[in-house]
């Protein structure tokens, strides 16, 4: 599935939804390594963007997104609409990231 066929909106410009296949999701659980935590703690001393955490968050969200897209493809979807993210701290330093949306089949208008 092309990433252009995914959106946080509930419609895709130039396409109409012909079939709704249901909710799809991608879930990943990540923890910070001790080295990453120490490195990020050192970055807080100088202020600004804590790049170690930014990179971890970006990788985690991308992984959850790709899992969601794969789930949609398994159902036969060619698009996903209404995409959202959610995160929950399970334990201190352990976070679940969920990416979910509605798998649909679309056709050009």
More confident residue, 33 or 21: 21
Q: Quick check: is 58 in a domain? A: no
CATH of the domain at 16: 3.30.110.70
Q: What pLDDT does 2 receive?
A: 92
Q: Is residue 8 part of a domain?
A: yes
Range of the domain at 13: 3-30+63-108
Bridge partners of residue 27, in order along the sequence:
98
Q: Residue 82's pLDDT band (boundaries 50, 70, 90)?
A: very high
Residue 1: C-alpha distances to residues 15, 81, 102 (Å): 15, 13, 14
Task: Give the chain's radius of gyration (CA, Å).
Answer: 17
Average per-residue pLDDT for the chain: 87
Residue 56, number of CB atoms within 10 A of its CB: 18
Per the structure, the count of domains in the chain is 1
Q: Is residue 82 part of a domain?
A: yes
pTM: 0.82
Predicted local confidence at residue 57, as pLDDT: 83
């Amino acid at each position: 599935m092309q990433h252009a066929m995914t959106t946080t909106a509930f419609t895709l410009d130039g396409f109409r939804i012909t079939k709704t296949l249901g909710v799809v999701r991608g879930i990943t659980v990540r923890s910070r390594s001790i080295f990453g935590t120490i490195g990020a703690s050192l970055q807080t001393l100088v202020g600004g963007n804590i790049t170690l955490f930014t990179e971890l968050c970006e990788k985690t969200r991308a992984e959850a997104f790709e899992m969601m897209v794969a789930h949609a493809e398994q159902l036969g979807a060619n698009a996903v609409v209404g995409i959202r993210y959610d995160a929950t701290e399970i334990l201190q330093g352990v976070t679940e990231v969920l990416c979910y949306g509605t798998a649909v089949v679309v056709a050009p208008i």
